[in-house]
Amino acid sequence: MTHARRFLNQVGRAAFVAGMLAGCGSGGSSGPDAALPMGADASGGGSSGPDAALPMGADASGGASPDAAPLASTDAADGPANVCVGDGGVAPLLCTCKPVFASATDLSGTWVLETIGAQTVKVPAYVNPFHLKSIDVILVQVIQNGNDVTLNGHYCDRIQHDDPNNPAKVIVLDPWRLTPSPLQRSGTFAPDDSGRWTLTLPSLVEVFGATLSDPATDALPTDPNDPRLVDVDGDGYPGLSIALSGLVPGTLRSVQRQSTALRGVAVAEDRVEGGMAYESDQSVIASEPPTIKNLYTSSTAITDPAACSSTFVMVKVSDAADAGAVDCAWVRDQETAFLGL
């Protein structure tokens, strides 16, 4: 192998590692309000995070959802992705083309929240970028007092949707996929200036795999002996573990941080859709083989900058704040019917 081929192979592998990790939490910012500062409204603590939903009008395979209104082309050359085709759609930045369900003024009850963080990875040896989606499914109890809402719940599922052309794949191992990390966040459900009832959940910073004094600004651990590390998925290794297959097989031990802000509208009495401002980063503390960590530290990835590439959906499953039999096992069993996963 020539020196040039060795160099291209190393660069390609590094970029692929960056891209795979981007799907698990690294990258830049995107969403309807774009560039959220990582420090805005930090929640404190070192656990859990809300997030990942299919883009409105798409299912997990990339196809069209049967009940979604069409969106304009997402090709940057064709114009903004959040401009609805035809009349009757919701205003831009809310990332849905469905009319607002005006009778919805109280969100109290049990909901399944699905969020998606979208990343774009450019590899020097490849002409076209790779598009990755990190999907989270969260069971939440919503309590509304006046216009104030509080969401309390826990993660039920984590899904990686890889670009079919990406030769290096992320495997979300069951210990992490099924970890019921807690979630608590607050916001408002209130009329906006036009009188449209809008769910607004301000920026929330979450860290997985470590306990930081300031989750928003503290540097993420890079040393496997860092005392801030937590075995968040209970597999016996610090941080959380992600498997890789294909071009770069192996296992990563990492720490992930994400910041999310949600804004959407009720499109039915039991469904809320909207856009998500998304920012994330990640550190790799160890890998098997060790070379994967070195590749990661020399690579970069960004969150998909396209409007409405990161979105969320909430589906109501019970009017009761505590639905009893509705648990994560039930959510995972029903998520295909509810969310098209």
Q: What is the pLDDT of residue 15?
A: 47
Handedness of CA 161, 132, 152, 113 (dihedral sign): negative
Lookup result for tokens 């979300």: 172
- pLDDT band for 267, please (50, 70, 90 cuts): very high
* Cβ count near 240 (within 10 Å): 30
Q: How confident is the model at residue 232 (pLDDT cuts 50, 70, 90)?
A: very high
Q: CA nearest 50: which of 201, 273, 231, 228?
A: 201
pLDDT for the residue 266: 96
Q: What is the pLDDT of residues 137-147, one digit of tens each?
A: 999 999 999 99
- Could you please report the per-residue DSSP string of 185-213? EEEEEEE-TTS-EEEEEEEEEEEESB--S
* Residue-level pLDDT at 278: 87
φ, ψ of residue 187 to 5 degrees: the values are: -175, -150
CB neighbour burial string for 178-187, b if at least 16 within 10 angstroms, e if fewer: bbebebebeb
Report residue 204's pLDDT band, with 50, 70 and 90 as the boundaries.
Answer: very high
Query: Is the pTM value of this prediction over 0.95?
Result: no
pLDDT for the residue numbered 92:
55
Query: Cα dist. 15→283, 328, 341 in Å?
Result: 15, 35, 28
**d(C-alpha 325, C-alpha 330), whole Å:** 8
Largest CA distance in the chain: 68
Q: Work out the pLDDT band at 84, boundaries 50, 70, 90.
A: low
Query: Looking at 39-53, 182-196, 275-289, 308-322, which range is the least confident one?
Result: 39-53
Find where tokens 């009720």 sit: 266
148 has pLDDT over 70 = yes
Please check whether residue 188 is in contact with residue 21, taking contact to mean a CB–CB distance below 8 angstroms: no
- 86 vs 160, higher pLDDT: 160
What pairing do the DSSP bridges indicate for beta strands 250-268 and 197-208? Answer: antiparallel
pLDDT in tens, 272-294: 999 999 888 889 999 999 888 87
- Nearest by Cα to 257 from 26, 31, 20, 2: 26
- Closest Cα partner for 42 from 254, 236, 231, 257? 257
- The arithmetic mean of pLDDT across residues 210-235, rounded, is 97
Tell me what the mean pLDDT of segment 286-310 comes to. 80
pLDDT score of 195 more than 50: yes
Whether the Cβ atoms of residue 139 and residue 153 lie closer than 8 Å to each other: yes
Length of the chain: 341
Mean pLDDT (whole number) for 184-211: 96
Tokens standing for residue 61: 């395979």
Answer with the residue of higher pLDDT: 60 or 228. 228
Answer for the pair 237, 225: CB distance below 8 angstroms, yes or no: no
pLDDT above 70 for 214: yes
Collapsing DSSP to helix, strand or coil, 327 comes out as coil
pLDDT score recorded for residue 336: 87
